[in-house]
Amino acid sequence: MNGFQIATSGGPLCAEPMTGLAFIIEDVVFKDTNEVDVSIGGVFSGQVTSAVSTGCVKAFLMHPVRIVEPLYLCDLNVSTQGLSKAHQVLLKRRAKIIEEYPRPSTDIFSITAHLPVVESFGFSTQIRKSTSGGVDWQLVFSHWEMLDEDPFFVPKTKEEKEEFGEFVEGLPPSTPKKIIDDVRARKGLFLKKKGKSGEKNKPAGSNV
C-alpha cells in the first residue's frame, strides 16, 4: 500500500497526483526463506515499497498516458465594439465558449466560457488591453478535464502516418507536452533539452 501511495501521489509526468486509473496485481511471488540473504537481515519493508512504487510507475508508462487540467468558469461582459477582440483572446487561450447572448436594451454581450487555469496568467492585462477597457469578467474554478491527446505520441504505423503525417524533429510540442514541460520547469524538475550533442536531461533553468 505504501508503494502504491508513493507512486500515485506524485506521478512521473509532472509530479502531480494520479487520478482515474487502476493498477491490477496479477501475481505476487514470495521467495523461500532459504533463498533470502539472511546476512543483511532478509527483505526490508523499504525494498518492497520501492519495488511496488517502481513497478506502478513503469506499468503506467507502458500505456498511452493522458493529463488532466483545471478549468475556470469565465463570465465576461463586453461591449459590442470589443466583442471580436474578446473572442480572439479567448480562442488564443484555448477557451471553450459555452454561451453568448446580448444583454437586453444595452450594447453589452455576455459570454460564458471554460478557460484553462494555465492559460489565465496574464489574461487580465491582455483582455483589458485588447478591448480598450470595455470589459469586465469573473473567474471561478469549475472542474478538471482530461486532454484526450498522448503528450508523447509519435506516428509509427503506416495508418498513423497517413492520418497524422510524418513526425518531424523540431516541431512545436503538443499542448499536453507543453503543459508538462511548463509544470516541470516551474517545479525545477528535469527536462529534455536538445543541445549540440543531442538530447540530454537537464534541470530546469540549468546552464550546465
Q: Is 40's pLDDT higher than 70?
A: no
Do 53 and 73 lie in one domain? The reply is: no
In a domain, 152, yes or no: no
Question: Do the domain assignments include residue 171?
Answer: yes
pLDDT of 27 reads 84
Whether residues 17 and 53 fall in one domain = yes
Q: Domain containing 14: what range?
A: 2-61
Final residue belonging to a domain, choices 26, 43, 61 = 61
Question: What percent of the chain clears pLDDT 90, i.e. is strictly above it?
Answer: 39
DSSP code per residue over the chain: -HHHHHHHHS-TTTS----S---------PPPGGGS-GGGTS--HHHHHHHHHHHHHHHHHTS---EEEEEEEEEEEEEGGGHHHHHHHHHHTT-EEEEEEEPTTSSEEEEEEEEEGGG-TTHHHHHHHHTTT-EEEEEEEEEEEEE-S-TT----SHHHHHHH----TTPPPPHHHHHHHHHHHHHT-EEEEEETTEEEEEETT---
Where does the pLDDT of residue 195 fall: very low under 50, low under 70, confident under 90, or very high at 90 and above?
A: very low
On the question of pLDDT at 33 being above 70, the answer is no
Whether residues 132 and 102 share a domain: the answer is yes
Q: What is the CATH number of the domain that holds 110?
A: 3.30.70.240
Judge if pTM exceeds 0.75: no
- Within a domain: residue 208? no
Over the stretch 106-153, which tens digit does the pLDDT of each residue have? 889 999 999 999 899 999 999 999 988 889 999 999 999 999 888 887
The answer to the question of residue 169 being in a domain is yes
Q: What percent of the chain has pLDDT over 70?
A: 78
How does pLDDT run across 49-78, given as a tens digit for each residue? 898 999 999 999 888 889 999 999 999 999
Asked if 52 and 75 sit in the same domain, the reply is no
Residue 40 lies in a domain: yes
- pLDDT score at 9: 93
Q: What is the mean pLDDT of residues 65-92?
A: 92
Q: Chain-wide mean pLDDT for the chain?
A: 81
At which of 102, 125, 147 does a domain end?
A: 147
Residue 27 lies in a domain: yes
